[in-house]
Amino acid sequence: MVIGGSLGKKLVRDLLRAKASFGAAILVVLLGVTLFGASYASYKNLLRSYLYSYDVLHFADFVSTIAGADDGLPDRVAGLPGAARVETRLVGDLSAVSPDGEISGVVARVISVPAPEHPAVNDVTVYAGEYLDGTPGEVLLESSFAEYHDIAAGDTLQVVSAGVVVDLRVRGLVRTAEYMLPAKSKQDVMPQPKIFAILYADYATTAGLLQEAEPYNQVAVELAAGADMETVVAALRERVGPGVIAGTVGQEDQPSNAALKLDLEGLREMARAFPMLFFAAAAITLVILLGRMVRAQTPLVGLMRAVGYGPRAVLWHYTGFGLVIGVAGALIGSVAGFLLGGLVTGAYTGFVNVPFVKIEPEWTGVVGGTVGAIVVCATAGLLPAWRASRIRPADAMRGDAGTATGWSVRIGASWPAAPRIAVRNILRNRMRSLWTALGIAMAAILVVISVAFLDTTNHMIDWEFEVAMPHDAQVTFSGPVGTEIVDEVRALPGVARVEPVVQLPVELVTVGERYATLLVGLPEDGQLWNLFDGQENRIALGEGLLVADALRVRLGVEVGDEIEVATPGYVARLPIAGFVQQMMGSNAYLALPALQERVGIGDLVTGLLVRSEAGQERQVAKALERLPETAFVSTTDGFREMIDELMRLFYGFVGMMILFAVLLAFVVVFNTVTVSVMERRRELATMRMIGAGMGRVAAIVTIENLGIAIVGTAGGIAAGMAMASPAVQLFNSDSFSFGKAVVAPVTLAALTVGLLVVVLVSALPGIRYVSRMELADVARERAT
Amino acid sequence: MAKNGATLAVELEAVSRRFQLGDLEVAALTDVDLQVAAGEFVVVLGPSGSGKTTMLNLIGGLDLPTTGRLVVDGDEITDYGARRLTEFRRTHIGFVFQFFNLIPSLTAAENVAFAAELVENEAGIAQALERVGLADRGDHFPAQLSGGEQQRVALARALAKDPPLLLCDEPTGELDFETGKMILGLMRKLNQEEGKTFMVVTHNAAIGAMADRVIYLRSGRIDRMVINDSPIAAEEVSW
């Protein structure tokens, strides 16, 4: 009944007659299904690739940081109960010389591996050159830094060890499970291929470079099947002795994996949320489109009923429009989504250097998107179709003269004709006005939320670098250093301000939850690392502990609660004095003197924050790297440059999002306004018949549409602003947190103007149609 | 009142139809008694608002009376539900409207098929078009037809189901004089040659001259009825 017979022909021809409107509706469905298919396929392919790579390379289920280990550690942890494989290793960070010599602040992480055999846990796969054979001074270089700087096997890389530049030969290039995303730490998950190099060297080379007091500082464990991590960690604690384990990071919290998981979750959320937005927009468009079609075809509905078609036939006929749109959009969209999914996965796996990529056809996404689109469209079509089927035949034959009642018909009695007619038209058919305003509001909400991601991120980055962390370089020492270093650095040429800092790896422990992070001690009167709450009010350091806001939920703590802060040789319970809005990572903070006193490190510090005089940043960074106490130097310039480069990727992603939103907004607004004008073309032509010029008709239509558009835009912006913060914060984690969403006033102004322009442009086809209409045809059209 | 000995096509007993418009109750038809014989050509005349269309809608099963009894072609439809009314319209009634009410996206033949396929009488499509003299215009869309041709398609659509009773609401209201007369002639021919019962609602008093009987409605009541012993041919009607 939907496709066959005369009603089927009518359906197809009605669709073709309004092909622009229905085509736009199909486009919206198509985009929704494409996005769903692509993001779902990408999600599944990435998950499959990650898990396969983890499996093949024996990615550690947990890594414990060891303090005070001796040479006997490997023997003690061998055969650990519940562990399938164990690897003891030495890991440390050094400053490296940028291969192009143009930037400072490059950090090299050196990790010991056995040679010539591969490590039992956290293995690497060599894709260029060869694995290590024990030759001193040779390293394996992780792919992201190598590819960024175009380094090949056989090239030389320079690092700074104890103030001395050392040449290292790159024997091979590798991909790893541990650094698929080259994230420095959980507190610093932003991939930094430009300024963060990961090197694998044999034990002797590693020890020589790092010059650590202890031979090993990490134990990486792959669990046996069915083993429980907590139990195995307890067994490890027993093997290595009390107070030796400084912290344990499970696979879930491992920086690269956590960041990838965050991306995967983002993809999964996108696979869910974005198609929902598109389907909702398609549903609204269809309800408006079909509702108005039913209204325009009311006499035909009456005819169908008079001739002998039952309500069910009418219901099926008008539901058929939604069904056809759903099927058309779903079929094209599922093919596009399928193809796009492969492309996105390929691009993404290239970006994150997945060792082994597994792409398989994802039929669940294709079927799910197709079924979802068809169900949504058919359901959207059902509402107007049901209304059509409920029209009493005699009423349908009479037609509809509108619902002018009450005060609305008298409003503006003293106004000029154009605004009077426009306003009365808005009020005369309130449902039509409401649906049009709703369509415009929906478009505004979509754009505001999309733009909020961009504006909020930009605002946060500016805030982070210019207000929260206004230093140019951060020095991390190989070990604790006396405060005389502050004066020593202050005396270096080009240094404007120096502040000491202590950063200790700690575990924050609450009932049933342990969280490995950094405890940061900052001077109470410091200016180079400032702390703020979610409302961007500055928070002063005191006796109590300040904790990143993201940990409020993660650890289930509130202000005033006491929390255990544990590090080897030190365990204390400290009250939480407040929560800090922190963009990246989730640290704990204490006033420097309080931290030094409580941990018992006297006036020792672990690093410095340095601000340079204008134009002296690079020279100062180089001088800092050459200090014998320095392990590595991170520079704000290098980091900001890196962030800006990464942001280009993000801008691309958000740009696509905004493009989709704008496209969607255009379709929704175009459809609602076009239909609104087209369905009244007879009325408008009648105005012309009785002598109104096209100018007046256009003025009436414009005032009416602008009136509705202003209400819709204002409502949409208000709703979008209210929804923006919860929307961006959906992506929050303890590694990356969005604060309150920000939408720049200029963005809102551009959005408002843009929407109003779309509304005006959308009215043009109808106005042109009316202006070109042969007035004599008006009567004929009425007759048919 | 029916023709002597003829079967009744329509019978109304004390039929009233009232509408609720906000707080106001409007009596569109009040206590109407009427009998129409099968094969009769009846013209219903009256000014606007006199209840002509309401009466036609009731007889055609588009609406139900508020009170009274209504029998059409031997079936009492007064208490019919929506489903039985649909079935009734499908098999018993052919409608012709003032504004033709053709589906603009269907050709003339497809508009006729629109009704024919309901009674599985696809074979009757060409025949119906032929009966109204449009055998060669089946592929044309309504916009490509003149007003008279459109009304003839509407008539063919009504005939395609081969209903015993045709209800025509102002069938010449949108047509010029000559075309109007041509449609009326066609209707009369179908009435006389095929025995179809016609009830034609109009405000054009001149059409009454070609009817077997003229019913005058005023304010929802039958004002008077006039039997026309010597109806004139449609071609002789003049207004």
User: Which tens digit of pLDDT belongs to each residue from B61-74?
Assistant: 888 999 999 999 99
Band (pLDDT 50/70/90 cuts) for residue A401 is very low
Edge-to-edge strands, sheet with B41-45: B93-96, B165-169, B197-202, B41-45, B213-218, B221-227
The minimal CB distance from A299 to the residues B87, B101, B117 is found for B101
- Number of residue pairs across A and B with CB atoms under 8 Å? 93
Query: Is residue A145 a contact partner of residue A159, using CB atoms and an 8 Å limit?
Result: no
What pLDDT is attached to residue A403?
A: 45
Instruction: Residue A303: list chain B partners with CB under 8 A.
Output: 95, 97, 101, 103
Strongest mean pLDDT among A132-141, A516-525, A695-704: A132-141
Give the pLDDT score at A784.
Answer: 38
Q: Is B113 in contact with A306 (Cβ distance < 8 A)?
A: no
What is the rounded average pLDDT of the residues A109-132?
96
A753 at interface of B, judged by CB pairs closer than 8 A: no
pLDDT of residue B189: 93
Contacting residues of A for B102, CB less than 8 Å apart:
784
pLDDT tens string B186-239: 999 999 999 999 999 998 999 999 999 999 999 999 999 999 999 999 889 887
The mean of the pLDDT values for chain A is 84
Contact with chain B for residue A9, Cβ under 8 A? yes
pLDDT string in tens for chain B (239-residue length): 444 456 889 999 999 999 887 778 889 999 999 999 999 999 999 998 899 989 999 999 888 999 999 999 999 999 998 889 888 988 999 999 888 888 887 889 988 998 888 888 777 899 999 988 899 999 998 888 988 899 899 999 999 989 999 999 989 887 888 888 988 999 999 999 999 999 999 989 999 999 999 999 999 999 999 999 999 998 898 87
Closest CA to B198 of B100, B55, B93, B112: B93
- Test B97 with A6 for CB contact under 8 angstroms: no
pLDDT-above-90 percentage for chain A: 31
Mean pLDDT of A686-698: 70
Q: How far apart are CA A367 and CA A60, in angstroms?
A: 36
What pLDDT, on a 0 to 100 scale, did the predictor assign at position A1? 46
pLDDT at A90: 95
Q: Does A5 touch chain B (CB under 8 A)?
A: yes
Q: Which residue has the tokens 């959005």?
A: A751
Q: What CA–CA distance (Å, rounded) separates B126 from B131?
A: 9
| Res. A397 pLDDT band, cuts 50 70 90 | low
Q: How many angstroms separate the Cα of B23 from the Cα of each of A325, B19, B20, B26?
A: 43, 10, 7, 10
Answer whether B174 sits within 8 Å of A783, measured CB to CB.
yes
Contact B86 A310 (CB under 8 A): yes
CA–CA gap between residue A495 and residue A665 (Å, rounded): 52
pLDDT, residue A285, reads: 77
For B57, name the nearest residue in chain A, comparing CA atoms only.
A394
Cβ contacts of residue A741 below 8 Å, gap of 6+?
A452, A455, A456, A721, A724, A725, A727, A728, A729
Does A397 sit within 8 Å of B57, measured CB to CB?
Answer: yes
Q: How far is A655 from chain B (nearest CA, A)?
A: 42
Task: Compare CB distances from A306 to B62, B117, B143 and report the shortest one's residue.
Answer: B62
HSE-up of A641 (CA within 13 Å, CB side)?
15
The residues with which A411 forms a beta bridge, in sequence order, are none
Q: What is the pLDDT of residues A622-635, one digit of tens each?
A: 899 888 888 888 88
Chain A residues in contact with B63 by the CB 8 A cut-off are: 392-394
The answer, for B89 touching chain A at a CB cutoff of 8 Å, is yes
The residue with greater pLDDT, A767 or B109, is: B109
Interchain CB distance below 8 Å, B118 and A309:
yes
List the single best residue of A298, A397, A773 to mutate versus B (max B Cβ within 10 A): A397
Of the two residues A546 and A341, the one the predictor is more confident about is A546
Query: Given an 8 Å threshold on Cβ–Cβ distance, is A308 in contact with B87?
Result: yes
Q: What average pLDDT does range A23-41 have in this prediction?
A: 84
Residues 6+ apart with CB under 8 A from A745: none
For residue B175, give the chain A residue with the closest CA: A783
> Would you mind telling me the total number of residues written for chain B in this entry?
239
pLDDT at B2: 44
The residue in chain A having the minimum alpha-carbon distance to the alpha carbon of residue B19 is: A395
Degrees, nearest 5: CA angle A113-A118-A123: 80
Lowest pLDDT segment from A96-100, A225-229, A677-681, B165-169? A677-681
Inter-chain CB proximity B105 and A13 less than 8 Å: yes
The pLDDT score that the predictor gives to residue B4 is 47
Which of the two residues, A424 and A776, has the higher pLDDT score?
A424
pLDDT score, position B1: 43
pLDDT at residue A104, as a whole number: 67
Cβ count near B67 (within 10 Å): 13
pLDDT at A63 over 90: yes
Name the residue with higher pLDDT: A2 or A130: A130
Q: Does B105 touch chain A (CB under 8 A)?
A: yes
Distance CA(B22)–CA(A28), nearest Å, equals 41
pLDDT band at A783 (very low <50, low <70, confident <90, very high): very low
Asked if the model's pLDDT at residue A540 lies above 60, the reply is yes
Question: Given a cut of 60, is residue A406 above it in pLDDT?
Answer: no
* B90: its two tokens: 């499908």
Interface test with A, best of B18, B72, B89, B107 (most A CBs within 10 A): B89
Q: Which residue of B has its CA nearest to A398?
A: B53
Asked if residue A375 has pLDDT above 80, the reply is: yes
Find the CB nearest B82 among A13, A299, A311: A311
A492, A620 Cβ separation under 8 angstroms: yes
If you average pLDDT over residues A357-367, what whole number do you get?
82
Q: What is the rounded CA–CA span in Å between residue A690 and residue A195?
A: 75
Please, which residues 244-303 of chain A have a Cβ atom closer than 8 Å to chain B? 299-300, 302-303
List the single residue in A5, A397, A784 with the smallest CB-CB distance to B62: A397
**Pairwise CA distance, residues A220 & A89, whole Å:** 8
Q: Would you call A5 and B143 a contact, using CB atoms and an 8 Å cutoff? A: no
**Beta bridge mates, A608:** A475, A500
The pTM of this model reads 0.67
Neighbouring C-beta atoms of residue A504, cutoff 10 Å? 21
Q: Is the model's pLDDT at A192 over the cut of 80?
A: no
User: What average pLDDT does range A483-506 have in this prediction?
Assistant: 93
A98: Cβ–Cβ under 8 A, 6 or more apart, which residues? A104, A106, A149, A195
Q: Which two tokens stand for residue A562?
A: 């006491």
